[in-house]
Structure 1
Amino acid sequence: MILYNVTVAIDKKVEAEWITWMKEVHIPEVMETNQFEEHKFFKVLNTEDPQSSSYSVQYFAADMKNIQMYMAAFAPELQQKALLKFPNQMAAFRTLLQSV
């Protein structure tokens, strides 16, 4: 099992709109790629930035082939959509983890 973790810092001014968009649009689009078996969406509680809130979106894939397919065929467009929807209001970093 491979975990593709996306940690996002989102401007508090658009946080509620972003959460709705994530749940109703972005996460469903990622899951529709059929590269992930499940996902989880968490708010990070131990942040200290008064201007933004942080979230972790976790996507679980069976193996690296699914991750590679997602990165090559789907990620660039989906990431671009997010940046266009929330310009200069979010920052994201991505991490791959393998279960042991």
Structure 2
Amino acid sequence: MIIYNVTINIDDSAHDEWLTWMKNEHIPQVLGTGKFNNATFSQVLVEEDMGGKTYSVQYRAFSRAALDAYYKEHAEKLRNEGLKKFADKMLSFRTELEIVDEYNIEVNS
């Protein structure tokens, strides 16, 4: 399983508008490409020296091929939409993660 992680720092002046856009438009659009089976949207709890708030979105790709297809078919358009709306108010970077193993704790009721 491949995770496509996007970490974003958003300026406080654009935070509320950006958060609404992420939840209601951007993340649903990325999932709507059909290349990912889910997304986890988290706030980073470490305060940045640069200010603002930092978030991480982890999209779980169906496969390496699906992620490559996302890059080829959708990534530029979807990134540009965010840049148009929040150009100088956000800073982002992307990483790819490959899950090596997952562990779960069973809870006995």
- TM-score where L is the length of structure 1: 0.96
Larger Rg: 2
Question: Structure 1: where are the runs of 5+ without partners?
Answer: none
Which residue of the partner structure matches residue 53 of structure 1?
53
**CA–CA separation in structure 1 for the residues paired with 2:52 and 2:69:** 32
Tell me how far 1:50 sits from its aligned partner: 5.5
Query: In angstroms, what is the RMSD of aligned CA positions?
Result: 0.9
List gaps (5 residues or longer) in structure 2.
101-109
Number of the residue aligned with 1:80: 80
Deviation (angstroms), 1:86:
0.6
Aligned-partner residue type, residue 91 of structure 1: L
Which residue of the partner structure matches residue 41 of structure 1?
41
- Give 1:26's aligned residue: 26
The secondary structure found in structure 2 opposite 1:88 is: helix
Q: Is residue 2:97 matched to residue 1:97?
A: yes
How far is 1:47 from its partner? 2.2
In 1, distance between residues paired with 2:40 and 2:83? 21
